[in-house]
Each structure stands twice: as structure tokens, then as C-alpha cells.
């Protein structure tokens, strides 16, 4: 099977971690008889330097026409002083909108080998951390009108029933594939948009009688994620709440460098990226953790290409790597073997096995 993957290396550590993920994909292609062709795309700070635009239309077109997109990370202090509409992150927002990917799915799973790295008490971690946050991605306050007049600034938070319904269905369908529990998170005691959100979710629940739906206010959810994360299976929420909660959830697993994500819409062409940033302070030093990007590539195989066995093989190779005691600096602990970014990728490739 041949698949065309648009590759956005981006800024900071982006090129380093993407290189290791591509090594893994090349090995998968070799073992399972696939062909992955890569089209390089400039986005973020590097695109500002090259084109004066964080995502030119020509680069977006490459992504839209691909079978899926693999992204490293964008941004950095170098571009902090450019106008707001030119920031590297604007390229990412434009990419999501241009691809029509409205559902961002971030797993929060603790690898048993890294249980000691969680900042939570051992008794909490032992109950298990394995849930996924389904975040609406191209609506809400990030995509509403932003305006500053004199000493007053406004940002508009707006959702339509259709926008809520389509992300709600992703939440219900994801729960159906897992443990049939869905928690809808909003702020319906204050916000009209959240009251509409709750109304639509409960209407959808009638179509999914096999799914146990619960409601939770966002501030309570933030507390519960650190108090008792084992209670969650699938969480569905709007854009800004999901942004904040998924970052919180990633940190209780021990390392932000281990967490992948997928962004999907109405087609199988998805956007896959680690949830961490570009970390310009460690760029070029061969110390970044590429596992979040490697696991994002595994998600691409699973959710966009229907390559379940291949995705399983990558995840097992990562687990075997951790079992053997190898660690990059961000997850290093006593008694483990410190490796760099390149060696991490190479060792995971060595652990990859075919059918």
C-alpha cells in the first residue's frame, strides 16, 4: 500500500523528532510491504523566515492533498515579536481549519515503566491512568472575533448546534470503542454556549443507549484529573477547555514528551503531532524525546490508514525499549541508561518486528 505523507518538521526540536519518526515509518514499510512517500512542508517560524508567512497557501495545499500530515512542532522565542496575525501558531490554526480537522484526540496513558515519573501519589497512579480527551478544534473562542478598542479587549466564544453535534458524535463513537463511558465537560452554570453544549450532548445520548454519559463542570474536571484520573475513560469538551485539560492530563502521566495526538475531520486525512512544543532551548543538542512523535505516527497508521497491526508493532517496540531501561533526559531515573534523540529512534527501530 502506498501513502503520501506531508511532513512538517517545523521549528526547534521539530526536525530532530520527526527524523526519528520517519525512521520508524520506513522500517514499518520494509517489514509490512508498504510504501510511504514524504512531501516536505514549511510551516511555523521557518516559513516566516522563508516566505514571510507562517503557512503559505501553496504549503497548505500540499497538506490537503496528502493522505495525512505528520507534524513536529512550531514556534520559538525568535518569533515572539512578530505581529499577532503572523505568529507561527497562526499557521497551525490555519492548517487545522484548512484541513477541516475538528476533533483533536489526546490520550493520557501512563506507561507502567514510567509510573514513578508521575507527580501524583503512588496510590492514585496504581488505580490506573488511561483515558482520552476529545477536544473540539476549529470553533469556540480561538476562532471567534478578537478585537481591542482602546483599553478594552473582547474575544467571542460561539458554537452552533451542528459544531457541537459533530464533535459529540466523535466522543460517543470513541467511547463505544473503549469502555463505553463518556464525560461531557462544560461550564453550563455560567455560559450560554455551555448550556447549548449540554443540551446537544443529551440529545445525542438518546442515539447511544449503550454509552454511559455524565456531565462535569470544567473546574471540577480539572480537580478530578489530579484527584482520581481512573474515573475517566473518554472526555469530550470544547476548544479552550480541551486545550487546558489535555495539557494537565499529559503532565500526570510523567512526561509530556511521551504523548501523541491525532486531529481528524470528516475524511481519513488527519493531522498527527506530539503535544509538546518546539523546545528551542534544547534544539540541536540530540537530547529531545522523539517518542511522542513516533507514537503519533502509530496513531496515523491506526486511524487514517487502517494499519492496526503496524500501529501495534510500533507501540510494542516503544514498550520493549522502555523495558530495556533506555531513557532520554526528560524521563531519566536512577539505574536507567541515558540515550539521545537519535539513539532512541534507532533502538525503537531495532525492536520493531514484522508479522
Tens-place pLDDT, residues 137-147: 999 999 999 99
Q: Which residue has the cell 469530550?
A: 236
Q: How far apart are the C-alpha atoms of 179 and 197, rounded to whole Å?
A: 23
Q: What mean pLDDT is predicted for residues 305-314?
A: 95
Architecture of domain 119-252: 3-Layer(aba) Sandwich (3.40)
pLDDT-based confidence at 89, cuts 50/70/90?
A: confident
Q: Indicate the helix (H) or strand (E) that contains 351.
A: helix 341-351
| Whole-number pLDDT of residue 318 | 97
Strand bridging mode 68-73 / 103-109: unpaired
Is the pLDDT assigned to residue 80 strictly greater than 90? no
- Chain centre to alpha carbon of residue 336: 27
Q: Does residue 117 surpass a pLDDT of 90? A: no
Closest by CA position to 54, among listed 115, 10, 99, 23: 10
Domain 1-101+255-355 identical in fold to domain 119-252? yes
How far apart, in whole angstroms, are the C-alpha atoms of residue 218 and residue 215? Answer: 10
Segment 229-238, tens digit of pLDDT: 999 999 999 9
User: Hey, where are the domains in the chain?
Assistant: 1-101+255-355, 119-252
- Identify the CA nearest to 273 among candidates 246, 253, 252: 246
Architecture in CATH for domain 1-101+255-355? 3-Layer(aba) Sandwich (3.40)
225: enclosing H helix or E strand: helix 218-227
Cell of 60: 497548505
Active site (catalytic) residues: 142, 187, 219, 243, 247
d(CA 204, CA 230): 25
The pLDDT, as a whole number, for residue 84 is 79
What does pTM read for this prediction?
Answer: 0.87
Owner of C-alpha cell 501523541: 260
The whole-chain average pLDDT of the chain stands at: 95
Q: What SS3 state is found at 139?
A: coil
Cell of 305: 490508514
pLDDT at 254 over 90: no
In 31-163, at which residue ranges do the beta strands (DSSP E only) sit?
Answer: 35-40, 68-73, 103-109, 130-136, 146-149, 152-155
Distance set, CA 271 to CA 88, 265, 300, 304, 354 (Å): 17, 9, 8, 9, 26
Q: Residue for cell digits 502509530?
A: 298
Amino acid at each position: 500500500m502506498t501513502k503520501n505523507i506531508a511532513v512538517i518538521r517545523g521549528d526547534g526540536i521539530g526536525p530532530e523528532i520527526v527524523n526519528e519518526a520517519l525512521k520508524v515509518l520506513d522500517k514499518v514499510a520494509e517489514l509490512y510491504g508498504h510504501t510511504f512517500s514524504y512531501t516536505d512542508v514549511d510551516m511555523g517560524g521557518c516559513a516566516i523566515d522563508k516566505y514571510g508567512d507562517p503557512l503559505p497557501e501553496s504549503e497548505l495545499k500540499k497538506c490537503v492533498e496528502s493522505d495525512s500530515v505528520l507534524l513536529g512542532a512550531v514556534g520559538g522565542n525568535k518569533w515572539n515579536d512578530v505581529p499577532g496575525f503572523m505568529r507561527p501558531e497562526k499557521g497551525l490554526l490555519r492548517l487545522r481549519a484548512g484541513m477541516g480537522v475538528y476533533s483533536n484526540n489526546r490520550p493520557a496513558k501512563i506507561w507502567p515503566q514510567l509510573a514513578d515519573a508521575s507527580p501524583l501519589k503512588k496510590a492514585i497512579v496504581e488505580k490506573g491512568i488511561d483515558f482520552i480527551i476529545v477536544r473540539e478544534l476549529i470553533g469556540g473562542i480561538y476562532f471567534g472575533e478578537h478585537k481591542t478598542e482602546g483599553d478594552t479587549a473582547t474575544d467571542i466564544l460561539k458554537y452552533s448546534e451542528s459544531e457541537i453535534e459533530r464533535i459529540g458524535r466523535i466522543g460517543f463513537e470513541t467511547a463505544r470503542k473503549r469502555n463505553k463511558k463518556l464525560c461531557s465537560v462544560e461550564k453550563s452554570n455560567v455560559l450560554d454556549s455551555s448550556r447549548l453544549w449540554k443540551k446537544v450532548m443529551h440529545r445525542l445520548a438518546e442515539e447511544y443507549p449503550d454509552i454511559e454519559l455524565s456531565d462535569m463542570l470544567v473546574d471540577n474536571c480539572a480537580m478530578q484529573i489530579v484527584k482520581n484520573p481512573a474515573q475517566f475513560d473518554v472526555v469530550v469538551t470544547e476548544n479552550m477547555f480541551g486545550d487546558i485539560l489535555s495539557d494537565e492530563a499529559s503532565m500526570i502521566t510523567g512526561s509530556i514528551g511521551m504523548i501523541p495526538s491525532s486531529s481528524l475531520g470528516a475524511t481519513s486525512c488527519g493531522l498527527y503531532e506530539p503535544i509538546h512544543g518546539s523546545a528551542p532551548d534544547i534544539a540541536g543538542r540530540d537530547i529531545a524525546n522523539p517518542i511522542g512523535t513516533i507514537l503519533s505516527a502509530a496513531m496515523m497508521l491506526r486511524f487514517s490508514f487502517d494499519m492496526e497491526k503496524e500501529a501495534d508493532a510500533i507501540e510494542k517496540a516503544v514498550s520493549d525499549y522502555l523495558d530495556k531501561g533506555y531513557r532520554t533526559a526528560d524521563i531519566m531515573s536512577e539505574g536507567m541508561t541515558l540515550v539521545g534523540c537519535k539513539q532512541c529512534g534507532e533502538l525503537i527501530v531495532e525492536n520493531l518486528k514484522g508479522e
